[in-house]
Amino acid sequence: MHQARSIVWIACKVTLRIAPDTRGKIGIPLTKGQNIVRFTASSEVDIQVSHSKFYAAQNELIGSTMPFSSLGLSAPLVSALSQYVAPTPVQAAAIPVVLKGGDVLVTAQTGSGKTLAYVLPLIQQWLATRIEKPRKVHTLILVPTRELAAQVTKEVLRCSVHLPERIKVVSAFGGVSINPQMMALRGGADFVIATPGRLLDLVDHNALHLNHVAALVLDEADRLLDLGFADELARVLALLPKHRQNLLFSATFPESVQELASQIFHEATRIEVESTPTEMPVIEQRAIEVDTAQRTPLLRHLIKTEGWPRVLVFVAKQYTAEHVADKLRRHGISAVAFHGELSQGARMQALADFKDEHVQVFVATDLAGRGLDIVQLPVVLNYDLPRSAVDYTHRIGRTGRAGEAGVAVSFITAESHAHFCLIEKRHHLSLPREQIPGFEPKDLVPEPSPSTGGIKGRRKSKKDKLREAAARL
C-alpha cells in the first residue's frame, strides 16, 4: 500500500522547513535550542542534517522494506540484526541523529524498539573512538530496574557479536552482592548499564570513575523519576563531564521529565513517535465487577474457564503477590510471585520460568510494569488497579505486542470503582461492566452523582468496614 511521504529539512540547529501535504508535524521548541520532530508511524520521513541524508523508515507492519544499512550503521552491526525485517519508526528516526553526536530526547510508547535506537549508534561511536587500555567508560546507561538493566546488557552484547574488537559491558544493580560487580569493573569498562543507587555505591567504593563518559542515556526517564531516583540522578550528573552526548528516552513526557531535560539538555532534537491505528496493539479491555474477597476465587475461575495459557497478574503490594500466588498453587495452578523483596536470583528465575511457560500465572507488583519484554503474553489482569492512568497504559501494554492480540482484564470493586472511572476518563474509555455468574458482587457499586458530575461513591460506615474485614478472613 502506498503511504504518504513527509519531507523534513533540518538545515541547522534552529531552522526547520517542511514540505507541503505532509503527514508529519513540526512543533515549536519546548526549550531554547531544542528542535522537535513529530511524525506518525505511518509516515515516511526524509531528514537531512547539514549535508547528510537520513531516513526514518516505516514500521514493518505497514510494509517498510528499508534496511538498517540505510541508517548509516556499519556492516558488523547490520549483520547482527538479521532477525529484523526493518527498523521501527523510533529506530529509524533516532539512529541517524544519535550517530551525529547531538543530544536527543525521544518520546515513544513501550515496546517501540527504543533500546536498539540508542544501543546501535552508541556502539558504533565507541568503535570509532575506543581506547584499548586502560578502558574508560564510554557510555553510561541508567535504567530504573534490575530487569531492564539485564535486558539492555543482553542487547548490547547481542549487537556486538560481529565487531572486530571485543566490547566490555558491565551491568550493575542492587539486590545482589556488590563484590562481583566491583571485580567486573577491574580494568575498566566500555559500557556500564546500571540503576542509579548501585552506580553511586560503586563510585563510593572507588570501583568506577565517570570523568570520561562520552554518552549518557536515561532510559525510561519517567519511571526513573516515579521510583524516586531524582536525588541520585542529580548526584550522578554532577560526576559526569560537562561535554558529553545526552540521550533521554521516555514513554511519557510529564512535568518531572521536562524539568530533568531542562537541566541536562542545551541543544537537543526531540523525536516523538505517535501511535497510529495501524500500529496500535489489538487489546481487548474488560472490566469485571467483583467483591474484594472474591477476587482470587474469580481469578481461578477465569483461568480455568477462559483457557488462558499464561496470565500476568498485577497487584499493589508484595504481600498480596505472595498471597495470591500461594492460593493459586494450593488449587493446582502453577504460579509465582514477583516483587522487590525477592533476591535477584529468585526474580530472574521466576521470570525465566514464566517466559519458558513452566509457570502459568505471574503475580507481580508494578516492578514488572516497565522494561520487561515477555513475548506472546495473551492476558494481563489488574487484580488491584494501578495508581495512575499512565501506569494503566504500561500494564496493559505488556500484552498485544508484536502484532499479537491480547486481553486486559480489570477487577472493579466497590472501593475501586471511582478510581477506575478516572482512568477511563483519562483514556477516553467507557468499558461495559461485566458480572460473572456465581461471582456477582454483593457490595454496592456507587453511581455517579448527577448533580455534580462527580464519580465519588458513598462513604462507608464503620459497620460496613468491619463486615468487609470479616469477609476477607
Q: Is the pLDDT of residue 294 over 90?
A: yes
- The residue type of 417 is H
Q: Is the pLDDT of residue 191 over 60?
A: yes
- Interval 193-203: pLDDT, tens: 999 999 999 99
| Domains, in order of start, for the chain | 5-274 (3.40.50.300), 283-472 (3.40.50.300)
Going by C-alpha positions, the residue among 74, 75, 71, 62 that lies closest to residue 93 is: 71
- How does residue 446 score in pLDDT terms, banded at 50, 70 and 90? low
- Interval 219-259: pLDDT, tens: 999 888 877 888 899 999 999 999 999 999 998 888 888 88
**What's the mean pLDDT in 165-190?**
92
48, with CB counted inside 10 A (0-12, 13-18, 19+), is: middle
- How does residue 263 score in pLDDT terms, banded at 50, 70 and 90? confident
**From CA 311, how far away is CA 382, in angstroms rounded?**
10
- Full strand arrangement of the beta sheet holding 335-338: 335-338, 361-364, 311-314, 379-382, 406-412, 283-289, 433-434
Instruction: Round the CA-based radius of gyration of the chain to a whole number and report it.
Output: 24
Provide the pLDDT for residue 457: 43
Provide the pLDDT for residue 437: 95
Grid cell for residue 336? 509465582
**From CA 364, how far away is CA 331, in angstroms rounded?**
19
**What's the mean pLDDT in 360-376?**
76
Q: Out of 31-35, 73-77, 92-96, pick the least confident.
A: 31-35
270, with CB counted inside 10 A (0-12, 13-18, 19+), is: buried
- Interval 296-319: pLDDT, tens: 999 999 999 999 999 999 999 999
Contact 258, 22 (CB under 8 A): no
Q: Out of 45-54, 236-245, 322-331, 463-472, pick the least confident.
A: 45-54
Going by C-alpha positions, the residue among 353, 427, 417 that lies closest to residue 393 is: 427
**From CA 348, how far away is CA 31, in angstroms rounded?**
41
Q: Is the pLDDT of residue 117 over 80?
A: yes
- Separate counts of helices (H) and strands (E) for the chain: 15, 20
In degrees and rounded to multiples of 5, residue 440 shows phi and psi of: -60, 135
Provide the pLDDT for residue 351: 86
Contact 93, 273 (CB under 8 A): yes
Contact 78, 39 (CB under 8 A): no
Q: Is the pLDDT of residue 427 over 50?
A: yes
Provide the pLDDT for residue 463: 53
Mean pLDDT across the chain: 79
- Interval 10-44: pLDDT, tens: 322 222 222 223 323 322 233 434 455 544 443 33
0.75 exceeded by the pTM?
no
- How does residue 393 score in pLDDT terms, banded at 50, 70 and 90? confident
Tracing cell 469485571 back to the chain, one arrives at 288
Provide the pLDDT for residue 94: 93
Q: Is the pLDDT of residue 280 over 80?
A: no
Q: Is the pLDDT of residue 62 over 50?
A: no
Q: Is the pLDDT of residue 459 over 90?
A: no
